[in-house]
Amino acid sequence: MRLDKFLGDHNIGTRKQIKEYVKNGRCLVNGQPVKKSDIHIDESNDEITFDGKILSFSKFHYYMLNKPDGVVSATTDGRNKTVLDLLKTENVRGLNPAGRLDIDTVGLLLLTDDGGLIHRLLSPKKHVDKTYEVHLEKDISDDDIKLLENGVDIGDKKDNGDPFLTLEAKVCKKGKDDNGNPVIHLTIHEGRFHQVKRMMEAIGNRVVFLKRITFGPLVLDENLSYGEYRKLTEDELRKLGVE
C-alpha cells in the first residue's frame, strides 16, 4: 500500500497535506524518517508512526453508534442527516449500517465496512437477537405478553395467503418511565419493516419511545450519549467472530 493512502485512511489529512507532512519528517517507517509520501509500505508488518504515534493497519473498521432521533440509518439522504454524518472525524468510505433503525428509533447501531459480518448478522437464517426498550401508550397484560412471545399477525402474508406470524419473542416488564408509560424489554430475532411498532399495534397498543439496547452479542455502551460513537473493543470483536 502507498504510504499516503495508509495515512489518508487514518484521517491524517488530504493527499496534498500528507505530502507536506511527510516531507517535514513527521512520519517514520520502521523508525526511519521518510521524505516521500508515495512510497510503498507493508501495512501489515511495517511500523508506521506519525508525530510519534504508532498507526496500526485494519482491513475493516467497526463502530458502535448511539443513534439519536431524527437521523436516518443510511449512507446518503437528500433531506435528513445520516448516521455517517455523525462520524465526522472518521474515514467513512465503505461504511454501512448493519441493519436499520427507523428515523425516530434511537440506540445501538453497528457501522462497518465488513460486508461479510453484515451479511452474517442480517441473514434470516441466523436469527440474531435484538433487544429493544419499548415505552408503551398503555399497560400490557399477561395475555398480551403471551401473544407477543408466541407470534402475532402484523399484516405480512405467506405465498399461500396465510398470515406470516412473527417468530417467538421474549418480553420482560421493566416498570414505568418518568411519564408513567409502561416499559418493556422486547427481544426479537427478525428485522421486518417497523416490526416492533406493528407488533404493539397487533395487541392494541402503541409505541411512544423505542430504543435498541442489544444487537447480537453487542450491548449499547451507556457511556455513549445520543450521536456519540466509538470503535468496538477487542472483546466485542471476538464475540462477533471477527479475528
Dihedral sign, Cα of residue 25, residue 28, residue 34, residue 38: negative
pTM (predicted TM-score) = 0.83
Q: Would you say residue 231 lies in a domain?
A: yes
The reported pLDDT for the residue numbered 126 is 87
Residue 102 is among the residues annotated as catalytic for this protein: yes
**Do the Cβ atoms of 75 and 50 come closer than 8 Å?**
no
Question: Which of 46, 77, 85, 102 is labelled catalytic?
Answer: 102
Whether residues 10 and 77 share a domain: the answer is no
The reported pLDDT for the residue numbered 8 is 84
Q: Would you say residue 220 lies in a domain?
A: no
Whether residues 137 and 193 share a domain: the answer is yes
Q: Which residues pair with 42 in a beta bridge?
A: none
The reported pLDDT for the residue numbered 120 is 93
The reported pLDDT for the residue numbered 58 is 78
Strands of the sheet with 32-33, listed across from one edge: 32-33, 27-29, 48-50, 53-55
Whether residues 206 and 233 share a domain: the answer is no
The reported pLDDT for the residue numbered 18 is 94
Whether residues 119 and 99 share a domain: the answer is yes
Total domains present in the chain: 3
Q: The domain spanning residue 198 has which CATH number?
A: 3.30.70.1560
Whether residues 51 and 71 share a domain: the answer is no
Q: By C-alpha distance, which of 212, 216, 223, 222 is closest to 239?
A: 216
Phi, psi for residue 220 in degrees, rounded to 5: -55, 130
Tell me how far apart the alpha carbons of residues 182 and 179 are, in angstroms, rounded to a whole number.
Answer: 9
Amino acid identity for residue 61 in this structure: H
Q: Which residues constitute the domain of residue 11?
A: 3-55
Q: Would you say residue 27 lies in a domain?
A: yes
Contacts of residue 159, Cβ cutoff 8 Å, sequence gap at least 6: none
The reported pLDDT for the residue numbered 10 is 81
Whether residues 205 and 231 share a domain: the answer is no
Regions of the chain short of the pLDDT cut 50: none
